[in-house]
Amino acid sequence: MKFSIGEFSLITSLSIKSLRLYHEKGLLIPAEVDADSGYRYYDDSNFETAKSIKMLKGFDFSLAEIKGLLDQCSDDSDLLPQLEQKLRQVKDEIDRYTEISRSIRSVIEFEGDTTMQKNRGFDIEESELDTILIAGHRMRGRYEEVGSGLGLVCKKMGRHVNGKPMTLYYDGEYKDEDADFEPCVPVRKGKDTDGISVRELKGGRCVTLVHQGPYETLRESYKRVFAYVNEKGYTIRRPTREVYRKGPGLIFKGNPKNYLTEIQVPIED
């Protein structure tokens, strides 16, 4: 029994365009081609080949790969080595796209939704901080070295990062050269490694203020916070914190005027 190309297209759910392409590529040779009209006709053996092509194409084999398999294999067992290799390739692609997805998500989370921050009006607030798991790299040096410290921690912790980067400041005074600080990030899990300490950062009462603008102008906001703390008669519990709600992006530096840094000063009566 022979079928016209239109009938065969309906039977196999393959478009006429695809059938012509498969003919040109040598994958699916019609049972007969009319010498005068050029019409293609297909039979039962073509139907079995068409089923194989559709399945292999569904496994993401290229047309060139499918042609090689059709030429070399006559039984499903002959396909096992190629199927196992394709499965490994698919798993590698899944891993690659999973990592890309995590990287994209990190950029999105790093940038965050600044609209909510802007709507807060940048008022001084008192809040209760949760205890969180962090990974930190304790350093002594100049304050401008915070960025390199954060880069190290983020690189080491990778997909375990679970929030905005921050810095803990342990000094009760300004220091030019020997400041004691700890760039860190919240994490889902992890363990100490290569100078990175993974531990709980205790929560508690806190005075906060979101500062908008370059880091060089943070002192003005610190003045407001310390004035508020002193007026209330609170005692500061160190380390104090800076949480970088919006800063230099992972791709672009951005406009420093739009940076959002949340100053967090833990307190007790």
Which residues make Cβ contacts (< 8 Å) with residue 261, sequence separation at least 6?
210, 211, 215, 218, 221, 242, 243, 244, 245, 247
User: In the chain, what percentage of residues exceed pLDDT 70?
Assistant: 93
Q: Which of 238, 184, 244 is nearest to 214 (CA)?
A: 244
- What are the distances in angstroms from CA 200 to CA 108, 110, 115, 123? 25, 21, 29, 28
**What would the CATH number be for the domain defined by 3-72?**
1.10.1660.10
Q: What's the whole-number average pLDDT of the chain?
A: 90
Whether the predicted pLDDT of 234 surpasses 70: yes
Q: Are 228 and 267 in contact (CB under 8 A)?
A: no
If one compares 132 and 116, the residue with the highest pLDDT of the two is 132
Q: What pLDDT was estimated at residue 116?
A: 46
If one compares 122 and 176, the residue with the highest pLDDT of the two is 176
Q: What pLDDT was estimated at residue 119?
A: 44
DSSP 56: H
If one compares 258 and 75, the residue with the highest pLDDT of the two is 258
Q: Where are the domains of the chain?
A: 3-72, 83-111, 114-268
**What would the CATH number be for the domain defined by 114-268?**
3.20.80.10
User: In the chain, what percentage of residues exceed pLDDT 90?
Assistant: 75
Query: What are 178-204's pLDDT values in tens digits?
Result: 999 999 999 999 999 889 999 999 999
Q: Which of 256, 250, 177 is nearest to 218 (CA)?
A: 256
Statement: the pTM of the whole predicted model exceeds 0.85: no
d(CA 207, CA 25): 71
If one compares 251 and 5, the residue with the highest pLDDT of the two is 5
Whether the predicted pLDDT of 238 surpasses 70: yes
Q: C-alpha dihedral over 109, 249, 149, 164, to 10 degrees?
A: -20
Which residues make Cβ contacts (< 8 Å) with residue 225, sequence separation at least 6?
124, 207, 209, 263, 265
The 3-state DSSP composition of the chain as helix, strand, coil percent (nearest 5) reads: 45, 25, 30
Average pLDDT over every residue of 248-258: 74
Q: What pLDDT was estimated at residue 114?
A: 46
d(CA 83, CA 96): 20
Q: What pLDDT was estimated at residue 250?
A: 55
Q: Are 216 and 181 in contact (CB under 8 A)?
A: no
Query: What are 75-127's pLDDT values in tens digits?
Result: 778 889 999 999 999 999 999 998 888 878 777 765 554 444 444 457 999 99
- Residue listed under structure tokens 């990287």: 103
- Residue 89: its H or E element: helix 80-111
Q: What pLDDT was estimated at residue 202?
A: 96
Between 2-6, 52-56, 116-120, 249-253, the lowest mean confidence (pLDDT) is in 116-120
